[in-house]
Chain A
């Protein structure tokens, strides 16, 4: 199975400041034939199911604010919240869909400092 490792486990950021979350896969999730990274990011607010933010590592889902951005390739990926808002308090997960079983990172809890 592909193991997804996120860091940090939690971070506290002041309102309006940048939050950066990293996700590392145990093997490449870049498909050479189409040059796409098979990685998605989700946001899970307390008491809610996960909500899709980004797929193909950097494509923002329709309706997701542009302060959310994804980057990276191969085995190393980043989710950035450029200017943290109160509504962004949540746990964030990365997920690979390069191979079965689908696997997720352990989550990063984002709080307000």
Chain B
């Protein structure tokens, strides 16, 4: 079955960076874009950006484009999302989520399925 499995929880100090992974299985990895989102405590879901595993094209949300880098490794069907210069406001559960159907260039879509989430805690 189609599945996205994310890396485990992280605790980071302010100013540090974090890199979260998302391993895909059950489908042709390069055919579907991967989105990254986060959900801070008490806040709504926030879309961070998208990457095409086919050609590495990215689309970042304006709020994150200076601090976020999304990459993929097609040899392991894994997508990565790195956030730099962490602050306490970055404490959140981070999710990867697949585009609902295949596309090689960015277009807005609904998301299915989602990874299980990775809790990133930023604390001194």
Contacts and interface: CB of A to CB of B under 8 A. Distances in A.
Contacts of A61: 112
A101 B95 contact: no
Contacts of A49: 95, 97, 113-117
A55 B59 contact: no
- The dominant DSSP class at the A interface is loop
A51 interface: yes
B108 A50 contact: no
Interface size class of B (residues with CB under 8 A): 20 to 34
B11 interface: no
Which of B108, B110, B115 counts the most A-chain CB atoms under 10 A from its CB?
Answer: B110
A101 B62 contact: yes
Contacts of B9: none
Nearest to B4: A49
A97 interface: yes
Nearest to B6: A49
Contacts of B115: 49
A50 B45 contact: yes
Nearest to B64: A101
Contacts of A104: 44-47
A52 B101 CA distance: 13
B44 A55 contact: no
B35 interface: yes
A49 B46 CA distance: 14
Contact of A102 (B95, B108, B112, B116): B108
Interface of A: 38, 40, 48-52, 55, 61, 93, 95, 97-107
* The 10 residue pairs across chains A and B that have the minimum distance between CB atoms: A40-B110, A49-B114, A97-B108, A52-B112, A104-B45, A102-B47, A55-B110, A101-B61, A106-B44, A101-B47
